[in-house]
Every structure is written in C-alpha cells, then in structure tokens.
C-alpha cells in the first residue's frame, strides 16, 4: 500500500518522512491556503524534496474549465516532471481534462470522489488514481470502505490500471479496513501516522523492559556488553 501525507507544510512533511516510509505528499487548494504567503517559495522546495526522496507530489488544479485545467497541469508537469500527480476534480470539466492530460503524459488523480460511479468513469477516462473521501461518504449515510471495495473490484473487472487512493480519514480503523479490501494507497495527516503505530500495550511492555533493565544494569546499554 502506498502512503502519502496530506499536508503542505514542508517541515511537517520532512518530519513524517524521517520516521515513516512515505511515497509522497498530497495537497488540495484548502490545504495550500494554510501556507498563504509562502507558496511561491515552497514550490521549488517541494521539487527538491521530491527529487531527493524520489517521491510523488500531488497538486490540484484551480481552474474551472478543462482547457485551463490542462494548461495548469502542463505547467506543473514541466516543473515537477515525473514526480507530479495532478489532481482533477470529479466534475464534468474535470472528466474532460483527464483525457487531455493523459494525452500529454501527465499522471492524473481524480479527486473529491464520493461514489463508485464517479470512480468508474474516472478509471475509464484513464485516471491513474481516484481519491474517494472516506469520511465524507460515511457522513452521507453510505459506507466509505464498501465504496472502495467496489471500486477495487470494478477496476479489476474492467481491466483499468487505476489505483484507489483513500482520503479523508477520521479513524485508524478506516485505514485498517481499506487495506483488507485491496485499496492501493491512502493519504493521511501526520497525526494519523502516529495513531496507526501507537498502542498502549506496546507502551506498557516498553515501560516494563525499561524498569527491569535499569534495576539490573543501571545506566549500562546493550552495546556496552559488546566487545570493541
């Protein structure tokens, strides 16, 4: 499963990458507003980060018309090259833009997906990723995990090489369930990474190890017992 961090703050991205094996980072227009005043400076820093770590960067177009989306995507592609995934919204103009972008060799993620049928047409149009918003789907009385399961099956049945990139999570359990239905990728907040690995029983066991060691060996470390 691919893991992305859903944030635009470069220091947070670097911190997550230091601890966890991420495949890149994802942004959306709202996330980028948190970096207002810094975006221009961040653009080259994002590229440096992508090149140094060989990871993907996701940017969403802000245009409304397909032709303008394409122009934005081309400019982003010229700058970010193979590291770019351009996010196109799951609206009519976005669907038109998918094939325009694919014809230019641009990697595409159809985003803000809330139904299996939106995902199906995105895959059919040639999208490389679809990004269903899991919690939003749950909140409208459907089941985000079931929707993803159906997308994975439909893509397999139709022979579409499109990955499902789960987005918008509220619980670690949603991610656990997505992994079991064959979801290929998720994008999550930095906090969610910590939540995924955190376990009270692990902490309790570690405290037991620490106490027993200290009572017996004091300040000595395991490496102190190894001959030079």
Q: Is 16 in the site for ligand E4P (CB under 6 A)?
A: no
The distance of closest approach from Cβ of residue 161 to ligand E4P in the complex, given in angstroms and rounded to an integer, is 20
Q: Output the six-digit token pair for 159.
A: 């022979």
The distance of closest approach from Cβ of residue 165 to ligand E4P in the complex, given in angstroms and rounded to an integer, is 8
H or E segment to which residue 2 belongs: strand 2-6
Q: Is 118 in the site for ligand E4P (CB under 6 A)?
A: no
Among 53, 115, 135, 146, binds ligand E4P (CB under 6 A): 135
DSSP secondary structure code for residue 82 in this structure: G
The distance of closest approach from Cβ of residue 174 to ligand E4P in the complex, given in angstroms and rounded to an integer, is 11
Q: Is 174 in the site for ligand E4P (CB under 6 A)?
A: no
Which listed residue (15, 87, 96, 214) is catalytic?
87
Residue 60's closest CA among 15, 108, 16? 108
Q: Tokens 């635009």, residue?
A: 8
How many Å is the Cα radius of gyration of the chain?
Answer: 21
- The C-alpha angle 64, 89, 130, rounded to 5 degrees, equals 160
Among 167, 178, 186, 192, binds ligand E4P (CB under 6 A): 167
| Catalytic residue check, 87 | yes
Site string for ligand E4P, 45-64 (x = CB under 6 A): --------------------
145 contacts 165 by C-beta, under 8 angstroms? no
Judged by CB under 6 A, the number of residues near ligand E4P is 11
DSSP secondary structure code for residue 86 in this structure: E
Residue 89: strand pairing partners: 111
Residue 9's closest CA among 21, 22, 25, 29? 25
- Which CB sits closer to ligand E4P, 97 or 167? 167
Q: Which stretch binds ligand E4P (CB under 6 A): 72-80, 118-126, 127-135, 178-186?
A: 127-135
The distance of closest approach from Cβ of residue 206 to ligand E4P in the complex, given in angstroms and rounded to an integer, is 32
Residues 95 to 114: which contact ligand E4P by CB under 6 A? 111
**How many CB atoms within 10 Å of residue 45?**
13
Query: Which residues are within 8 A (CB) of 198 and not within 5 positions of it... i.e. 6 or more apart?
Result: none
Q: What are the strands, taking DSSP E only, across 34-190?
A: 56-60, 84-89, 108-113, 129-132, 163-166, 185-188
Among 72, 118, 174, 187, binds ligand E4P (CB under 6 A): 187
What is the contact surface with ligand E4P in residues (CB under 6 A)?
6, 26, 28, 31, 111, 131, 133, 135, 167-168, 187
Q: Report, as residue numbers or ranges, the catalytic residues.
A: 87
């Amino acid at each position: 499963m691919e893991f992305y961090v859903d944030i635009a703050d470069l220091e947070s991205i670097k911190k997550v990458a230091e601890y966890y094996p991420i495949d890149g980072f994802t942004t959306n227009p709202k996330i980028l507003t948190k970096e207002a005043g810094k975006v221009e400076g961040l653009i080259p820093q994002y590229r440096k980060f992508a090149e140094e770590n060989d990871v993907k960067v996701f940017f969403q177009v802000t245009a409304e018309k397909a032709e303008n989306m394409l122009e934005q995507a081309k400019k982003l592609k010229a700058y970010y090259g193979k590291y770019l995934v351009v996010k196109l919204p799951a609206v009519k103009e976005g669907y038109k833009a998918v094939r325009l972008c694919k014809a230019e060799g641009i990697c595409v993620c159809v985003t803000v997906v809330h139904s299996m049928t939106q995902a199906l047409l995105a895959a059919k149009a040639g999208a490389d990723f679809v990004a269903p918003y899991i919690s939003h789907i749950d909140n409208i009385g459907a089941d985000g995990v079931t929707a993803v399961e159906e997308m994975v099956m439909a893509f397999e049945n139709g022979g579409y090489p499109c990955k499902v990139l789960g987005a918008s999570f509220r619980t670690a359990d949603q991610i656990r369930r997505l992994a079991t239905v064959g979801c290929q990728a998720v994008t999550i907040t930095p906090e969610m990474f910590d939540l995924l690995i955190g376990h009270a029983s692990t902490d309790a066991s570690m405290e037991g190890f620490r106490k027993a060691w200290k009572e017996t060996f004091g300040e000595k470390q395991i490496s102190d017992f190894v001959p030079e």
